[in-house]
Amino acid sequence: MFPQLIAGPIVRYHDIVRDIDDRSISFVRWHWGIELFVIGLAQKVIIANSVSLPTDQIFELPGTQLTMTVAWFGGTCYALQIFFDFSGYTNMAIGLGHLMGFTLPRNFDRPYTAQSITEFWRRWHITLSRWFRDYLYIPLGGNRHGGMRTYTNLLVVFFLCGIWHGAKWTFVVWGLYHGVFLVVERVASAATTRQLWRPLRHAYLLLTVLIGWVLFRADGLSEASAMLRAMAGLGNAIADAPSVPRFASYSVIAAMLAAALIIAIPPPASWRDVLHRTASEPIRRMNNFQATAGAVFFGLIRPAATLCLFILTAIVLSTGNHNPFIYFRF
């Protein structure tokens, strides 16, 4: 099948045992599968690939050519690239699963709308987080043996999560970085963090995650250090260093605006019903939706929109400007 284990969704036997024993393929399921596949393909081709070019260009710049604005622009582009590349792949995998009669578990739940790092990891690469929880965190003792043991277990899990992504110091530091924030949030307690102003919590999450993505993307610790110093306004950029307009083409700006809208606006309830279903929920929920009053609208408009999106994606692909999936590199 199309999905790769390391890229997710990480599928366990109990996720698909019912489908193995008694698969159900219907016209409605094909409709959802094709729609999810096209949406994921568009996420990858139209958004992720568009912002990948400035990402690569900026992360390849030497420290002397990194201004504060360019560094922030590059970090933001990569944050959008990795999310839409990875979630796009996941939607394609889940869609193809539906076409073959398999219900694969969801892997993303709008992670950039989270209010803390703890919540972020409940929404990002969900199947990996659950795998580490069930096969590493809980066997280590979880949170059953006091505070210090819990904090140690969290650091161990995210240290290994970093190594899981590759044998580079940047991945190790990235994993420990997230582990430290999880420990800090647990020490501070959820009740304390909830007292903060909601926009402030969201800004904290985005800033923390974006800095982490710089560590994740950089070729080495020295490159990551140069990027982070530039973001903090402590870089040593030369006078004629490139500015943001050099990297911000019309297609890049359009992709970033589309990405911001998708992140900010929750999907319709009908899409959430499919994207957020678990393998244990019966497929008849999708069939029942077709019998509602809105069936005529969604039965005509959405297939037309899906077709238009597929044509647009095909046009973009025909230019030859595309990259492999990020998580296929690990």
Structural domain contains residue 6 = no
Q: How many structural domains does the chain have?
A: 1
Tokens at residue 74, please? 């590059």
Cis peptide leading into residue 9 (ω within 30°): yes
The answer as to whether 1 is a domain residue is no
Instruction: Check residue 17 and give its pLDDT.
Output: 87
Contact 300, 328 (CB under 8 A): no
| The predicted structure's pLDDT at residue 282 | 44
Spot the catalytic one: 98, 125, 165, 178. 165
Parent domain of 161: 13-329
DSSP 198-257: HHHHHHHHHHHHHHHHHHHHSSSHHHHHHHHHHHTT-----TT---GGGT--HHHHHHHH
To the query of whether residue 145 is one of the catalytic residues in this protein, the response is: no
| The model's pTM | 0.87
Q: What is the pLDDT of residue 295?
A: 54
**Residues 315/319/325/330 CA torsion (nearest 10 deg):** 170
Q: What residues contact residue 104 under an 8 Å CB cut-off, 6+ apart? A: 3, 9, 11, 15, 16, 93, 94, 97, 279
Number of Cα atoms under 13 Å in the Cβ half of residue 55? 24
CA distance 224 to 219: 7
pLDDT at 136: 93
Which residues neighbour 328 within 8 Å (Cβ) at sequence distance 6 or greater?
4, 7
Residues 38, 309: contact at Cβ < 8 Å?
A: yes
Instruction: Tell me the torsion sign for CA atoms 46, 50, 55, 57.
Output: positive
Pair 117, 205: CB distance under 8 Å = yes
Is residue 232 within 8 Å of residue 224, measured between CB atoms? no
Give the chain's end-to-end CA distance (angstroms, integer).
19
Take residue 76 and report the two structure tokens written for it: 């933001």
pLDDT in tens, the chain (330 residues): 655 666 778 888 888 888 888 887 888 788 889 999 999 999 999 999 999 999 999 999 998 999 999 999 999 999 999 999 999 999 999 998 888 888 888 899 999 999 999 999 999 999 999 999 999 999 999 888 888 899 999 999 999 999 988 889 999 999 999 999 999 998 887 666 667 888 899 999 999 999 999 999 999 999 999 999 999 988 888 888 888 999 999 999 999 999 999 999 887 665 555 554 544 444 455 555 444 545 555 567 778 888 899 999 898 888 776 677 777 666
Q: What is the DSSP letter of 63?
A: G
CB within 8 A of 167, min separation 6: which ones? Answer: none
DSSP class of residue 139?
Answer: T
- Dig out the tokens for 113 from the structure: 């709308």
Residue 8 within any structural domain of the chain: no
